[in-house]
Structure 1
């Protein structure tokens, strides 16, 4: 459905009800410039609808689409102009192509934007046309201000003509006036002369008076002021840049910062431009700009901009250049924080944590406190010390007002807090933090993808596998390459717990993830894929290297995760490596205990791990631990304890939608099915009753029952339904 933002509430209610029944796939297209109908917005917040931000088309793609819309050879020649005029907006491109299709053999005529709405605008009085221009320029314009400038009678007439509509973007917000069609403001703005636009701006700002402005209004007014060379304060411009950056509209933010630099030329304007270039990854331009500033010697007499060159070098993975420039950074806080960042890039996490805490003591304002806290928390999380990270958060951040921090810095703090909660075992609290973030409407593409992956991890580790797969899939086409690759690795892990027919992603995709985006979970996905192919030697090599590297870097969280995966896949772990892993919190401690228990064949350690997993809500890991405990008790001859462990495993597994159990299958404990057992298992999985199997194989029903008992004991399943799902899988162990 196109233009879903134009749906009436009754129609939106019907559509939301249809989506709730999950009868099929619903694809909606809507503009972000207008609010969604309340029922659709509610469905989005309840995560029954996934949001994907569509970026403008590349010029080549826009030309290709334009050629497909035009009918004659001569019309196709207009495609470059059409593509440029549309700015990569497919909706606008469609309207341009529809508006004036040339006759066969006739001259090509590319219409103006206003001609797209000729029928809507023809017949308007001059006063009404001017009023509509002001509304388009100010959109969304405040109703009270527009009533003062335009007058109530003119507004009523425009509403009667269905050219404008009044809406509220959020509860409690001031009513705003928008044009009725999303393309109409583009058409009107393109036709307004420079001085007329400047006059409209002056009148509208006078009508606003001293009213407190929303983020949308600030960014719109600053952009409007710059376009007509009108006055705006440096504070307004810098706030507009922060708003645009938070929305991930970095191209527009760069345009505003360049204009601000020309207009003000202050150190703050230079820093705003450099921040935007860093966010865009234009590291070479950062070096060039700082060199040009230092060549004049006026704007940065104290050398504060050296920090940006260090940051750009770190982003470009040029650690030697960053290290050489660090002494040139004059401010102690910036120098120590960049030193911590360098240690992070070099994967020296203990040093990163130590230096970040030193910079925290040197922090002079709220933003510096939060920035240092973020680095200290992330470093502690990688070191396996999430409880220390939470202590840092509550001690340093709990007593300050985070609202004064830039949005990007606040977002990083939220990520660090959610990560610490997750690793410490506070799954529910971590999920609540991420859900609250996802409900924000102004998340950037990158941050939205990060939050979706985080929620997917929470869903997977609590046993909601199908929900996790949906969340990871929603990031599959994200413009953020980093989080797109991370989601692919997690999706391979999640789908390994589903029957083969239900899997949608080729596991081999993880081998194509570039080194800069590889994480410990990429290695886990590769190891699971290798085991699925029967290549246990490759899985052991991958995990063994990852474990040794994690311990060398002081990344004890990664070491605990890798050791746990070793044990889950039945691969041997050197006891000396296990003894070196030091972690905090029920979740990480339980991972290490499970690995040690499997290596040492200690029922006590495995039981402790199972209970720890169960306490934090990690149902799949708890079920696996209880299943391993069942096997250990069986091998010790303690059938009563084995039965209790098996019952506990089944109780926990019932909380999951984990369709294919993932029993540990080590070389010394896995007993394969005999040929006859495999034959009977296949017949039972196809739904044949014991009597029919007995008749088909000319054996007694009792023999069939006894054989099925042995099959259930070997495979870890308890009924035909689960056996059927297991027989549909072709792997030795899933996530």
Structure 2
């Protein structure tokens, strides 16, 4: 057989126990089982192949949505859940709760009454915001989760919590044994595998299906794996090394046009197919799809292209020099729609890509991104965006916004002194630079510094009382401040009249939902302590 033999669709062998256990959970046949599955194994052992077969099995009766986590080379908040959040604009009142509700509503509307299975590839690379939303989706039973993950560098805390609390079933996916590896070779190539070839392939791959596939692909392309009268014989040398090294060596041999496609897609994670055709050679794209290195999601609108396995991204990024990486990212950013009126994940991705390409977005946009990051509880990102906004020497209004967001981020990250320094600088700005929303934001941060950082709840309440008159012209900001003040009182053990006021606040449906949500747990706990539950 000629070296153009494709191997785009690698068969699944073995995994009978893992498949049966996962399918039982995903179909909900046993109500005592978990509500999702966590497939855990090293790179290349076949987690994604197993997940794809499970998706095929449940898709007849369930609505299945697949999302993929962006790589560590390009962490973007909510990047994994972007397909579910395209209708959420960056100007919406984003928070973990509102993002969860938007994702849940999107899944419900598309499912049309069918159960939902949300397949998540590369769970170990999830950003904190995405992992938190997935946890809420599972615990509210809005979707059964089918998650693939490597054990390292670490599975997100929210997924681990779901497993520990019985919501996810942990299933280890180990390398294939010798007999399964032989069967995989036979089914992939067709025909008989020579005894010596079988032994050498096993010793080289040690049962890792992706390593084996890349080994076969490389040997076929070099005419070192040949079919002689129905028997496959491998004459090439065994080159020991890790999977990433084997893939890197093979990528170096791809034509320049294909390499450029792989470089662009690896840096962007996924791209709309029309945009990829603008940036790269279409024949090269087709060749990579045929080779099984690039996959196209035709169900997306428009269809999107991404690498078929994250190891290709790791390998190709290791070959791209920093200067070329920046040039390629600049090309992608220039072809992307502008950030104004973008969806929430698109804005965050646009800002991240622009920064990585060496260009600095407008300071107003950075402050907006910092605010989104804080609302999504990603304080490190919020601090980074606010820092960059302040470096641009913006006007007082932007400075006020950046200081407010950075102070909140510092408080969450435990840097109380830095948070207070930002608050002091904020208060030194002219009154014309602030708004009622910013005043409320800063007052809440200041109260948190006093309450959580300095253990002075009385001072925290006084600060909030002093701020209330400054925001009385804005009903939303006033309600948020009142809710936070009551939360401080409940958390510091107040009962009597403050508790009655808090209960009344909770029952007032005309008030903002988020202002009431933050108060719910403290009120419940205080009612229990007061014997009123």
TM-score by length of 2: 0.48
Counting helix residues as a fraction of each chain, which structure ranks higher? 1
Structure 1 or 2: larger strand share? 2
Tell me which of the two structures has the higher relative contact order, counting C-alpha pairs closer than 8 angstroms and 6 or more residues apart. 2
